[in-house]
């Protein structure tokens, strides 16, 4: 890649869409693929996904969940078992109809999500109250036809995700699971990705097809559009009944079980790019960054070489021992300036430079990716300083995103304000809305904004912003990715 | 599950096929699924796969490989680019022809393997010698229509695997990669799964479709059938030419690159079940066992309860601190006998029993899963003893499998001996074979045995066992899974 290709040619706040595409490809996170709508997750992007996976996998295993794998293909008859679910997903399904030269008798759907195939197994596995709860998670990919244009991470036909599927003896337990997972998702996005989120329920219109209700995490991007970060569904007995997931209780009677499902996908990476990046490229929160520190030794004269490399190596080793994820960039085919650009594009939180002047003064130069500030620190204190600054960067990115969220949250009590805000700076607009589908649809039709969530807290009711009826509940509107 | 369902109803050496199916389902490794040929990998089976993944992932990352993800679906035009590859795989391919209600213009293949879609990306990514080598691995699933009957782990339409795909500047480097990976596979199967393997090349007839040559690892199962444990392919320029993977060398000239691919799948788990299991169920090598030690506290009187639980807990903690993977089975709804059966079925290497008598004598009882031996050890020495025995079990399982391999390896110098051995006890039969396809095919037709491998070492030549010509090379025949 020549150095003129390395930079981003547009400013983030001038053309965020083009900026985003350039960051994704130039930071080598992802690439387009030959099949329309499909994306290649490149090694650097995958290593971010691995960090997300590792963190969340530990979180759920710590509370008793286990991983498994279920088939890619779902016979049509199975997909049809829960009718709302089938109707909801069928326009998006990819159908396998041939194997080799043979036409297959019953069409097979590539899983758009695995409720049906998993509940089919659960109906065999669950017999007694002793078999419950079942707490299973799957890391896989799913495929849903995307009619609109592809956006890496945010809108792709195939995406990597995790889907959790649990079975419980009681409704209460299932509802607790839904909230436990939602809270773990919030912890992931806020403590790791440094993205503040709002949580709440989806409306009937926006819920998962087949759920009793859907809970959601919503984040706000700098362009005023919301992004759904994950969902956790209470499925009630909507699946356990058609799939006959029944257990013999300790009361010696048969009961239908209660199920949940929940998922987050690689779109978290898309949100992270949008939330934190700047005109130079990606900015990664230290917690999630595959590389937290890159060390660049600089020498112009061959005489300095050995000493500078030795000093850089010593610091690199100290950081590794402290558990910091580092890369010592001693590649000789690139200049220091080229390396700075590359690692800034790739969003590495701290760059350490060690050059002849640093060598003499017994210092190293640290450059923060989040605010660009340079500072000199004594070599002996470098490791400790770096650890401290990594924490500061994590905190700073979250605060900055939190400020942006606050500034992009308004309240509207009339349609004119709602429309103006949505069409202007965007962001969340809080308003009262009644339960009538026509009100919700009307606003979406007029403004492009949908109800992102209904807060969990039962607040006072007010006049519906659309029809004026008194039964309006507080909701958050926004346009969204 | 009632206790009568828990045991296996046939002996391993009387009906290995039925024995295998029962172990797989009763140890809760895997289950059949609604779609023919597809298998559900249950949590216990998945946790074994996770151990294999974790070990091998570290091995290849340590030498510079990185993970990525490539699309599930491959447009037909791409799959066709390497003609031998296309012809080889096309009878097994599942085709997507519809998206929702719409017929798709160009059929999309579910990947049977990803050479084509990955090389399409590589042709974009490789420009200069500076971009090489590319060392990428993918953990995913692939789908190949299976016409014969399903056998969990061994013969399934969809299977989990890893596929590595590398690009190199020179033929030499590519060939070194092929062997490096083959050796890492051997290390995995021998040091972790405790299964000895032979390595060598496949014949032209048996090689991967599209490869210059294929190297393989072959293990021998107790029923005399071989199992292919993994393959590593030198693809030469067979893919780089049609896909135009070219780089500008430091000589300022354009060169076609050299590529490799390699894979192991969940069939390793199938081999491990067959190699080590016994009439009571699974026997897992300690290195790969998700649980290495299960601790069962035993109390008949409520008085003993607190003391016994405390002792069990103390030992459990000590083992955990020592890095041993343990489970303290203090479930109250099951009897100790029921638990013994369950954990024997699931192949946990060591069971620790702590009962009233052990409490009094200051001892614990250890039961080895591999040979059933019981021993009492002083509680203070238990942790150290357990570590030692885990090592012994690992070693014992490997030696036993190695002995079985040796006893199932014969030499034949005439067709009668070859046929008799193959049709009798089975195993590997070493014999000389010439290069003529008719000789190789004739033997397969007559005996059901194929050439499993050609040893790497160039030995003397001999008379072809089929046609008697002088150009016979030493090969290993066997029937196989």
Substitution target in A46, A67, A69, A130 with the highest count of B β-carbons within 10 Å is A69
Q: What is the CB neighbour count within 10 angstroms for residue B12? A: 20
> Which of B41, B95, B124 lies at the smallest CB-CB distance from A98?
B95
Average pLDDT by consecutive 10-residue portion of chain B (481 residues)? 69 96 97 91 98 98 98 94 84 93 92 95 96 98 86 96 98 98 98 98 95 98 98 97 96 98 98 98 98 95 89 96 97 92 97 93 96 95 96 98 98 96 97 97 97 94 96 97 95
- Residue A29, chain B, CB below 8 Å: the answer is no
- Residue A322, chain B, CB below 8 Å: the answer is no
Is A5's pLDDT higher than 80?
A: no
| Distance to chain A for B360, nearest Cα, Å | 33
SS3 of B142, please?
strand
pLDDT of A1: 44
- What are the chain B neighbours of A50 within 8 Å (beta carbons)? 67
Bridge partners of A234, per DSSP, are A213, A260
Compute the average pLDDT of residues A274-278. Answer: 98
Is A62's pLDDT higher than 70?
A: yes
Which residue has better confidence, A304 or B352?
A: B352
CB contact under 8 A, B40 and A71: yes
Compute the average pLDDT of residues A211-216. Answer: 98
CB contact under 8 A, A130 and B333: yes
pLDDT of A2: 45
Cα A27 to chain centroid, rounded: 18
- Residue A74, chain B, CB below 8 Å: the answer is yes
Q: Give the DSSP letter of residue B460.
A: -
| Distance to chain B for A130, nearest Cα, Å | 8
Q: How many residues make up chain B in this entry?
A: 481
| Distance to chain B for A142, nearest Cα, Å | 9
> Which of A46, A78, A110 lies at the smallest CB-CB distance from B69?
A46
- Helix ranges (H only) for B72-156 are 76-79, 83-89, 115-125
Task: Kindly report the backbone phi and psi dihedral angles of residue B190, in degrees, each rounded to the nearest multiple of 5, phi listed first.
Answer: -80, -45
B64: closest chain A residue by CA: A43
Is A148's pLDDT higher than 80?
A: no
Compute the average pLDDT of residues A297-314. Answer: 90
CB contact under 8 A, A121 and B40: yes
Residue-wise burial string across A213-232, b where 16 or more C-beta atoms lie within 10 A, e elsewhere: bbbbbbbbbbbbbbbbbbbb
| Distance to chain A for B399, nearest Cα, Å | 32
pLDDT of B1: 44
pLDDT of A301: 83
CB contact under 8 A, A145 and B99: yes
CB contact under 8 A, B94 and A73: yes
B32: closest chain A residue by CA: A121
Q: Which domains does chain B have, with CATH numbers?
A: 8-276 (3.30.930.10), 293-390 (3.40.50.800), 409-478 (3.30.110.30)
Tens-place pLDDT, residues A386-399: 999 999 999 999 99
Q: Which of residues 403-432 of A touch B (CB under 8 A)?
A: none
% of chain A residues with pLDDT over 70? 99
C-alpha distance across the termini of chain B, in Å: 31
Residue A145 contacts residue A93 (beta carbons within 8 Å)? yes
Using CA atoms, how far residue A75 sits from B38, B98, B159, in Å, is 11, 14, 18
Mean pLDDT, chain A, integer: 95
| Distance to chain A for B69, nearest Cα, Å | 5
Substitution target in B35, B46, B333 with the highest count of A β-carbons within 10 Å is B35
CB contact under 8 A, B39 and A99: no
Q: Rounded to an integer, what distance in angstroms lies between the CA atom of residue B135 and that of residue B169?
A: 12
A141: closest chain B residue by CA: B72
Substitution target in B43, B133, B165 with the highest count of A β-carbons within 10 Å is B43
pLDDT of B5: 61
Residue A426 contacts residue A478 (beta carbons within 8 Å)? yes
- What are the chain A neighbours of B101 within 8 Å (beta carbons)? 91
- What are the chain B neighbours of A73 within 8 Å (beta carbons)? 35, 38, 94, 143, 158
Q: Which of residues 201-260 of A touch B (CB under 8 A)?
A: none
| Closest-CA residue to A354 (of A323, A319, A321) | A319
CB contact under 8 A, B38 and A136: no
Substitution target in A5, A29, A34 with the highest count of B β-carbons within 10 Å is A34
> Which of B75, B121, B158 lies at the smallest CB-CB distance from A71?
B158
- What are the chain B neighbours of A121 within 8 Å (beta carbons)? 31, 33, 40
Q: What is the CB neighbour count within 10 angstroms for residue B248? A: 15
Q: Rounded to an integer, what distance in angstroms lies between the CA atom of residue A468 and that of residue A431?
A: 12
Compute the average pLDDT of residues A444-458. Answer: 96
HSE of B431, CA atoms in CB hemisphere, 13 A: 30
Residue A259 contacts residue A168 (beta carbons within 8 Å)? yes
As a three-state string, the secondary structure of chain A is CCHHHHCCCCCCCCCHHHHHHHHHHHCCCEEECCCCCCEEECHHHHHHHHHHHHHHHHHHHCCCCEECECCCEEEHHHHCCCHHHHHHHHHHCEEEEEECCEEEEEEEEECCCCHHHHHHHHHHHCCEHHHCCEEEEEEEEEECCCCCCCECCCECCEEEEEEEEEEECCHHHHHHHHHHHHHHHHHHHHHHCCCCCEEEECCCCCCCCCCCEEEEEEEECCCCCEEEEEEEEEEECCCCCCCCCEEECCCCCEEECEEEEEEEECHHHHHHHHHHCECCECCCCCCCCCCCEEEEECCCCHHHHHHHHHHHHHHHHHHHHCCCCEEECCCCCCCHHHHHHHHHHCCCCEEEEECHHHHHHCEEEEEECCCCCEEEEEHHHHHHHHHHHHHHHHHHHHHHHHHHHHHCEEECCCHHHHHHHHHCCCCEEEEEECCCHHHHHHHHHHHCCEEEEEECCCCCCECCCCCCCCCEEEEEEECEC
CB contact under 8 A, B66 and A73: no
- What are the chain B neighbours of A40 within 8 Å (beta carbons)? 68-71, 121
- Tell me the helices (H) and strands (E) count for chain B, helix number first: 14, 23
Residue A23 contacts residue A132 (beta carbons within 8 Å)? no
- Residue B170, chain A, CB below 8 Å: the answer is no
A120: closest chain B residue by CA: B34
| Distance to chain A for B89, nearest Cα, Å | 9
pLDDT of B2: 45
Q: Rounded to an integer, what distance in angstroms lies between the CA atom of residue B366 and that of residue B376?
A: 6
Tell me if the pTM is above 0.90: yes
CB contact under 8 A, B33 and A130: no
How many contacts, defined by CB atoms under 8 Å, are there between A and B? 164
Encoded tokens for B6: 């828990």
- What are the chain B neighbours of A93 within 8 Å (beta carbons)? 99-100
ipTM, 2 dp = 0.96
Q: Rounded to an integer, what distance in angstroms lies between the CA atom of residue A161 and that of residue A134?
A: 20
- What are the chain A neighbours of B108 within 8 Å (beta carbons)? 35, 94
- What are the chain B neighbours of A86 within 8 Å (beta carbons)? none
Is A237's pLDDT higher than 70?
A: yes
B266: closest chain A residue by CA: A69
Q: Which of residues 325-354 of A touch B (CB under 8 A)?
A: 333
């Amino acid at each position: 890649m020549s150095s003129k290709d390395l930079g981003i040619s547009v400013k983030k706040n001038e053309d965020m869409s083009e900026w985003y595409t350039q960051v994704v490809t130039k930071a080598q996170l992802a690439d387009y693929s030959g099949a329309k709508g499909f994306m290649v997750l490149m090694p650097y992007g995958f290593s971010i996904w691995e960090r997300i996976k590792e963190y969340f996998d530990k979180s759920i295993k710590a509370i008793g969940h286990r991983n498994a794998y279920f088939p890619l293909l779902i016979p049509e008859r199975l997909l049809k078992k829960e009718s709302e679910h089938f109707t909801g997903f069928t326009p998006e399904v990819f159908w396998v109809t041939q194997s080799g030269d043979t036409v297959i008798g019953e069409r097979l759907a590539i899983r758009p999500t695995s409720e049906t195939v998993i509940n089919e197994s659960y109906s065999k596995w669950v017999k007694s109250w002793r078999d419950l709860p079942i707490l299973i998670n799957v890391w896989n990919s799913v495929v849903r036809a995307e009619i609109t244009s592809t956006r890496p991470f945010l809108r792709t036909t195939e995406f990597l995700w995790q889907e959790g599927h649990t079975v419980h003896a009681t409704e209460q337990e299932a509802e607790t699971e839904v909230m436990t997972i939602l809270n773990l998702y919030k912890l992931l996005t806020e403590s790791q990705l440094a993205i503040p989120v709002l949580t709440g329920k989806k409306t009937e219109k926006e819920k998962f097809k087949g759920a009793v209700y859907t809970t959601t995490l919503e984040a706000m991007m700098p362009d005023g559009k919301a992004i759904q970060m994950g969902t956790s569904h209470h499925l009630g007995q909507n699946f356990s009944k058609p799939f006959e997931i029944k257990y013999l209780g300790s009361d010696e009677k048969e009961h239908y079980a209660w199920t949940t499902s929940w998922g987050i996908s690689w779109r978290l990476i898309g949100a992270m790019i949008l939330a934190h990046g700047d005109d130079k490229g990606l900015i990664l929160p230290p917690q999630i960054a595959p590389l937290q520190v890159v060390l660049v030794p600089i020498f112009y004269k061959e005489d300095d070489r050995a000493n500078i490399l030795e000093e850089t190596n010593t610091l690199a080793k100290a950081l590794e021992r402290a558990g910091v994820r580092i890369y010592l960039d001693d590649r000789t085919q690139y200049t220091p300036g080229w390396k700075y650009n590359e690692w800034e594009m790739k969003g590495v939180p701290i760059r350490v430079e060690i050059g002849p002047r640093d060598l003499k003064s017994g210092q190293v130069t640290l450059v923060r990716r989040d605010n660009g500030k340079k500072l000199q620190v004594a070599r002996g204190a470098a490791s400790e300083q770096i650890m401290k600054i990594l924490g500061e960067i994590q905190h700073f990115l979250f605060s900055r995103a939190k400020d942006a969220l606050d500034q992009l949250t308004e309240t509207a009590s009339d349609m004119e304000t709602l429309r103006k805000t949505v069409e202007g700076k965007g962001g969340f607009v809080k308003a009262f809305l009644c339960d009538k589908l026509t009100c919700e649809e009307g606003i979406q039709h007029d403004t492009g904004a949908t109800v992102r969530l209904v807060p969990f807290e039962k607040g006072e009711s007010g006049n519906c912003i659309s029809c004026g009826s008194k039964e309006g509940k507080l909701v958050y509107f926004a346009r969204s990715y």
